[in-house]
Structure 1
């Protein structure tokens, strides 16, 4: 079992490294530190989805087209996903507390900027800056937790609370956006400012000053440049391909550059003494599967949110407030599950919860394919929202636990950065493809029928992407259960326990 170093937690929570993980004393200060970290992740996740309901109002006020509106969402996701690996590595090398505090301050400033600008380009720029700051707060916060709480029940409990707060941010973003947009769309950008500042003040007081960080490590500058550039260019290329044409010289040339940069990154990581991403980490089957599942399922959710926001307001003509309340069941289910997910993970294992969560979301998307020009809340929206809330509550914490269990303390920032990168790049890529499908399906028409012709193929795409996550999680569970049964060492399949054994075998 991996245990956190003695200086990884505040003095009030220090423990004997050989003590069982459930012996950790959950003092008020330790709870306070966890709440601060949860607040930051909640804001990070909230910003991915909170502009959803506000998009029509933003487009009308700033005269932005549908493709330009996508960039209001993608600008944040691009900065978030493109820089997460660098953010995770920076947390390991520069100190998690220091990186977290600086990035949270930048997040608050960028939120304020986004709420006062009157130009679409500046708004997208502010969103990118917010995403970039979140790329540093998220892995720093997650690695503070995983190096403070020892692997086992204590860490599962902390991670379940932490990641469920993130899932609540994703799912409640549209709800809060509806409430705030009814007052004015700018409030969707301004609301995070005071919350971030309050969290920053308490973070200075509560976060441990001596959280574990890697000593003697170097900086993989070449890997950081090629890796980040390849991710940024990939998302940009896919996003712009619908306008330039998928077979255009510009699109094909950009994809070729992406391949060259990606190949250079892999070559650098294999040869450098201090890689940004130690590629051997993917030999841990738990880490590899969790990242692939997170990429596909979170991407499908981003595409679904975009479709729902446009459909409910443009076809059914619901107000922003009505839409917010309609989506409340999903967010409420995720939020209410926060205190119970740790016990559920301990009892059933992430290997069972990941497929169940994926299945619930696939069914939720499929049910929404029944959308029409006169659909009702009870018949169409409510069943999908309940299933999506249940699926998110089961999947999101389990994916984060599976992606970090069995990973050494000095690589927790890397592991957390990887899974968050998978989620955000999935968000950006699937959203870009979904938008292209919507535009092609509607043929530029603005009538309700024309828009539905675009929404249905888009929903079919979203459902298909989620099916990939279901196949990945079910296949992984079956393979590892068979392996565990053959070894007669693990009575019940669990990604974390198997991941710890795999990490010992593949450690370089």
Structure 2
């Protein structure tokens, strides 16, 4: 039986209809913070390295520390959100994220910056599932739910591109520290918005699944760290193989613990529902392909076409605008009216078509921006915009009250793992293909570089086609709405 999750005014038991859209505004601002911080610091990293005297070997920890803390603690953050109340956890996450950002921006030595980035990841791990949970419990009417998840997904889809653009502008015209300081006013504005967010009820039953918490944090951290280390060291290095093996063993042990736990951190019913599993699979593979795509767009426009970081970031506005259209004007309006598969599968196919356009690039391709980049950016943006709202909604639809936080955390963990794997895997494929092409003789460095990119994007195209096929099989039915209520 489903549990009614409509947010109510304390003491009255009545829904607060007028405050729903304040919830969307606050949650969207928080979503932008979390997604933007995954890319904005990348652009500022060279300037931060010079300012703080970081070594080449250690500078990557400014990115890795955030990824490890965020990915490793997401499931715990989902459980904390349910136990303390989603609104309370959301506010605490915003305040903590702002404080950690201020600390990082004021850092005077590398260790302080790395610690601040890790703290950002900790608070983001509580903030992200709490925000999605608030959205799920606030918007229950199909029409409003579609619009709300469309806006939420638009922010998420455009956030990475916005991070690259903002990072370039702030680093070039202000200072790298503003890539962190900018989070403070954004977070505080979101906190002010929560004044109008109705209170929810915390879950007071059960204890924290400590073995599950430790195993999940260690397992996810090992896997994410292995993906990050695969880029500089290669997939065959002892370090990467050891980390991956440890991560797999820990996650298998985590699964065994969760099956037997009386109050599991991640109830298996969240993952074993067929349509919900399809949502997790499709968003993981979508992020795997898209984060490799963003990486190559940055490399290609700057390294091959000679664009400045700001110009390269501005090109990605096309992708962000297309994602906005796809998530609000297409998925946002149709979500709740058509089966989720009718949005997710075409979205994956559109993104795959965008990747396919770029696989035809060569060093001699003319009119690159209008003939290749614009069509690819539009198609991938529309695809991402059409995939994110239905998967976010499907991942949390019909959940029992005490499972919503876990489902929200699992959805964000799927995105995080996909992004980390996509960046490492596709970059490794590109580097290997480039080296092989050069070794074959008779090719310029530019031709080899473009060949490496197109090879990796061909793999990305294949991943999206596989994702579309799996989603078509799992997210059923096509002609009627599947019952998701537990």
Q: TM-score range by the shorter chain?
A: 0.7 to 0.9
Question: Deviation per CA, 1:10-49, whole angstroms, max 9, x where unpaired?
Answer: 369964xxxxxxxx7741x332232111111121112223
Q: Is the 8 A contact 1:50 1:174 kept in 2?
A: yes
Partner of 2:398: helix, strand, or coil? Answer: coil
CA distance in 1, matches of 2:64, 2:349: 26
Partner of 1:213: helix, strand, or coil? Answer: coil
For residue 382 of structure 2, the aligned residue among 381, 390, 411 is: 390
Q: Write out aligned runs for 1:50-89 (5 A).
A: 50-51=40-41, 53-54=43-44, 72-89=62-79
Of the structure 1 ranges 183-192 and 80-89, higher mean CA displacement relative to structure 2 is found in 183-192
Aligned to 2:318: 329
CA distance in 2, matches of 1:480, 1:338: 22
Deviation at 1:259, TM superposition (A): 2.9
Q: Does 1:155 align with 2:142?
A: no
Aligned to 1:305: 294
For residue 480 of structure 1, the aligned residue among 459, 471, 477 is: 477
Aligned to 1:194: 185
Distance 1:399 1:92, change over 3 A: same
Partner of 2:483: helix, strand, or coil? Answer: helix
Distance 1:65 1:9, change over 3 A: farther
Q: Is the 8 A contact 1:351 1:493 kept in 2?
A: no
Distance 1:58 1:125, change over 3 A: same
Distance 1:14 1:317, change over 3 A: farther
For residue 400 of structure 2, the aligned residue among 401, 408, 424 is: 408
For residue 373 of structure 2, the aligned residue among 347, 357, 381 is: 381
Of the structure 1 ranges 354-363 and 101-110, higher mean CA displacement relative to structure 2 is found in 101-110
Distance 1:150 1:295, change over 3 A: same
Q: Does 1:433 align with 2:425?
A: yes
CA distance in 2, matches of 1:361, 1:58: 34
Of the structure 1 ranges 81-90 and 259-268, higher mean CA displacement relative to structure 2 is found in 259-268
Q: Is the 8 A contact 1:316 1:373 kept in 2?
A: no
Deviation at 1:425, TM superposition (A): 1.0
Aligned to 1:134: 124
Distance 1:384 1:61, change over 3 A: farther
Deviation at 1:193, TM superposition (A): 1.9
Distance 1:62 1:316, change over 3 A: farther
Distance 1:148 1:75, change over 3 A: same
Q: Which consecutive unaligned segments of at least 5 residues does structure 1 have?
A: 16-23, 482-491, 504-508
Partner of 2:202: helix, strand, or coil? Answer: coil
Question: Deviation per CA, 1:105-128, whole angstroms, max 9, x where unpaired?
Answer: 121122223334465565444333
Deviation at 1:168, TM superposition (A): 2.8
Distance 1:149 1:413, change over 3 A: same
CA distance in 1, matches of 2:169, 2:240: 39
Of the structure 1 ranges 56-65 and 126-135, higher mean CA displacement relative to structure 2 is found in 56-65
CA distance in 1, matches of 2:334, 2:373: 27
TM-score (norm 2): 0.88
Of the structure 1 ranges 302-311 and 107-116, higher mean CA displacement relative to structure 2 is found in 107-116
Q: Write out aligned runs for 1:269-284 (5 A).
A: 269-284=258-273
RMSD over equivalenced CA pairs, Å: 3.0
Distance 1:274 1:458, change over 3 A: same
Aligned to 2:441: none
Partner of 2:465: helix, strand, or coil? Answer: helix
Q: Is the 8 A contact 2:327 2:382 kept in 1?
A: no
Of the structure 1 ranges 236-245 and 61-70, higher mean CA displacement relative to structure 2 is found in 61-70
Q: Is the 8 A contact 2:327 2:389 kept in 1?
A: no
CA distance in 1, matches of 2:278, 2:69: 24
Distance 1:251 1:25, change over 3 A: closer
TM-score (norm 1): 0.84
Q: Is the 8 A contact 2:86 2:134 kept in 1?
A: yes
Q: Is the 8 A contact 2:78 2:405 kept in 1?
A: yes
For residue 454 of structure 1, the aligned residue among 452, 455, 459 is: 452
For residue 238 of structure 1, the aligned residue among 227, 235, 238 is: 227
CA distance in 2, matches of 1:306, 1:408: 38
Question: Deviation per CA, 1:278-320, whole angstroms, max 9, x where unpaired?
Answer: 1122231121110111111112111111121122112211012
Q: Does 1:471 align with 2:461?
A: no
Deviation at 1:239, TM superposition (A): 2.5
For residue 338 of structure 2, the aligned residue among 348, 362, 366 is: 348
Number of corresponding residues: 476
For residue 27 of structure 2, the aligned residue among 31, 37, 41 is: 37
Aligned to 1:4: 4
Q: Does 1:98 align with 2:88?
A: yes
